[in-house]
Chains A and B, each alone.
Chain A
Amino acid sequence: MPDGARDANPFGAEALTTTSTSRETDTATITVTLNGREIRLEPGVPEAIPSEAGAPTTVRDVPNSQVPSSSEPQTLEYLLDAFGFSPASSATAVNGTFVARNDRAGYILADGDTIEVLTARQGG
């Protein structure tokens, strides 16, 4: 019945890619790990880098209006929004600790954070 350990994390990571580092970084740029992939969060940087399948894959795909200014903190809510995760069907943890849905807006990400965004899947 149960699926156990061998199928751990078989879903989802394929669409996340590491961003390039072509831009000049500034002091507000942080590097975090999202679902096993390292990404750079650069405030106010709208650069679309579509994946091969045409689906947005990085934070740079976010339209200008959705990207916070450099003076705004990069929160967990911002990250979910930027990557198009459904807030209601996602559960989050940062550095191995659960972060509740209502706390995402106030959770400011720091350089080196490891974020997991999980959702519902079949299970045994």
Chain B
Amino acid sequence: MTRHPIQTTNLTPDPLVVYGQELPSRLFLGTALYPSPQIMSDAVQAASAGLVTVSLRREAARGKVGERFLELIRGLGIDVLPNTAGCRTAKDAITTAMMARELFATDWIKLEVIANDDTLQPDVFGLVEAAETLNKEGFKVFPYTTEDLGVADRLLNAGCEVLMPWGAPIGTGRGLANPYALASMRAYHPSVPLVIDAGIGAPSHAAQAMELGYDAVLLNTAVAKAADPVVMARAFAQTIEAGRAAYTAGLMEMRDMAQPSTPVAGTPFFDFPSEPASQDLQPSLDKRPNG
């Protein structure tokens, strides 16, 4: 008898390609909020992250924090995606992106222009304005946006080759707040890499995003604030791979009514009443439920 080894990895050899670059995984991981730099580093490794997000902040006089963090990030050997977190205008975001390009030596930028302090909702007007400028300046823009299809069109017309709609407000961990709209975006832009960015709280949320056909998930807090970030990072990696495999395998369509999975034909008749009614000694097969 020939035994076939069970293939446990690379079930779906369909690498994610963004801006012409193949990424090693579909999990994008943030580097903030971890209990320690070592745990962050271990979590990134456990996640087999496709890229890690970083930011820019003010340095203290004679400070070495930034220098040490740069060394740590470079040591991970993973592509970085700097963000413009905290920017409230297109101008601020553009300047921050230019500073990031020099500091991190990459033309990738996660473009955030924030409209509201309570929801951290994207300012889509500023977002489009900044994306137009940055694309002309040679950046590869990863815009943090909403599910709005009109905004998506504007961003694509501005030169963006990837879209990153929010799942839920940043840091809430509420999962996909509007899966209907996200599914519409996936259907409307079948060939554009789409990444769920923000709001993911549990691996099941990430799996749902991947099963909708999203190409990747970007998350931070759900891993960094877990009781064990390293184990949680691995859990997300596994579920994102599983979700992607499920999507490519093709999910069944939902039905409104139950339908037996066990064959109906050949069902035995174990449930005769002890005193069968005289007119119903032979119940028809097609009336018998199956589990």
Interface of A toward B, CB cutoff 8 Å: 1-16, 35-36, 55-58, 83-86, 88-93, 96-98, 100-101, 116-124
Please tell me if the beta carbons of B30 and A89 are within 8 angstroms of each other in the complex.
no
What DSSP secondary structure best describes chain B's contact surface? mixed
Please tell me if the beta carbons of B60 and A120 are within 8 angstroms of each other in the complex.
no
A72 to B184, CA, bound (A): 62
Interface of B toward A, CB cutoff 8 Å: 30-34, 40, 53-67, 69-70, 73, 82-83, 85-88, 91-92, 95-96, 98-100, 102-104, 110, 112, 114, 117, 120, 144, 170-171, 197-200, 218-222
A12 contacts across to B, CB distance below 8 A: 57-60, 63, 65
Please tell me if the beta carbons of B61 and A11 are within 8 angstroms of each other in the complex.
no
9 shortest interchain CB distances as A-B pairs = A119-B66, A123-B55, A8-B86, A84-B62, A124-B30, A91-B99, A1-B220, A124-B220, A12-B58
**Min CB gap B170→A, angstroms:** 4
Give the most central of B61, B83, B112, B221: most A CB within 10 Å: B61
A11 to B56, CA, bound (A): 10
B171 contacts across to A, CB distance below 8 A: 1, 3-4
What DSSP secondary structure best describes chain A's contact surface? loop
By beta carbon, the residue of chain B nearest A36 is: B58
Please tell me if the beta carbons of A2 and B198 are within 8 angstroms of each other in the complex.
yes
Please tell me if the beta carbons of B220 and A91 are within 8 angstroms of each other in the complex.
no
B198 contacts across to A, CB distance below 8 A: 1-2
Instruction: Name the contact of A124 in the complex, choosing from B57, B59, B65, B221 (C-beta under 8 A).
Output: B221
Please tell me if the beta carbons of B99 and A5 are within 8 angstroms of each other in the complex.
no
Instruction: Name the contact of B82 in the complex, choosing from A36, A57, A123 (C-beta under 8 A).
Output: A123
Please tell me if the beta carbons of A11 and B103 are within 8 angstroms of each other in the complex.
no
Please tell me if the beta carbons of B60 and A13 are within 8 angstroms of each other in the complex.
yes
Please tell me if the beta carbons of A121 and B57 are within 8 angstroms of each other in the complex.
yes
Please tell me if the beta carbons of A116 and B58 are within 8 angstroms of each other in the complex.
yes
By beta carbon, the residue of chain A nearest B196 is: A1
Please tell me if the beta carbons of A123 and B32 are within 8 angstroms of each other in the complex.
yes
By beta carbon, the residue of chain A nearest B66 is: A119
**Min CB gap B193→A, angstroms:** 17
Instruction: Name the contact of B58 in the complex, choosing from A57, A101, A117 (C-beta under 8 A).
Output: A117
A-B contacts, 13 of them at CB < 8 A, read A1-B170, A2-B198, A2-B218, A4-B85, A7-B85, A11-B59, A15-B63, A83-B62, A85-B59, A86-B59, A123-B82, A123-B85, A124-B30
Instruction: Name the contact of A119 in the complex, choosing from B65, B86, B220 (C-beta under 8 A).
Output: B65
A86 contacts across to B, CB distance below 8 A: 59, 64, 66-67
A100 to B98, CA, bound (A): 9
Please tell me if the beta carbons of B95 and A97 are within 8 angstroms of each other in the complex.
yes
Please tell me if the beta carbons of B170 and A124 are within 8 angstroms of each other in the complex.
yes
Give the most central of B67, B70, B99, B114: most A CB within 10 Å: B99
Instruction: Name the contact of A56 in the complex, choosing from B62, B73, B199 (C-beta under 8 A).
Output: B62
Instruction: Name the contact of A98 in the complex, choosing from B99, B114, B120, B200 (C-beta under 8 A).
Output: B99
Please tell me if the beta carbons of A120 and B104 are within 8 angstroms of each other in the complex.
yes
Please tell me if the beta carbons of A2 and B112 are within 8 angstroms of each other in the complex.
yes
Please tell me if the beta carbons of B62 and A98 are within 8 angstroms of each other in the complex.
no
B114 contacts across to A, CB distance below 8 A: 4-5
B96 contacts across to A, CB distance below 8 A: 118
A14 to B58, CA, bound (A): 10
A4 to B66, CA, bound (A): 19
A117 to B171, CA, bound (A): 27
Say whether, besides A122-B32, A122-B69, A124-B32, A2 and B57 are in contact (CB < 8 Å). Answer: no
Please tell me if the beta carbons of B31 and A122 are within 8 angstroms of each other in the complex.
yes
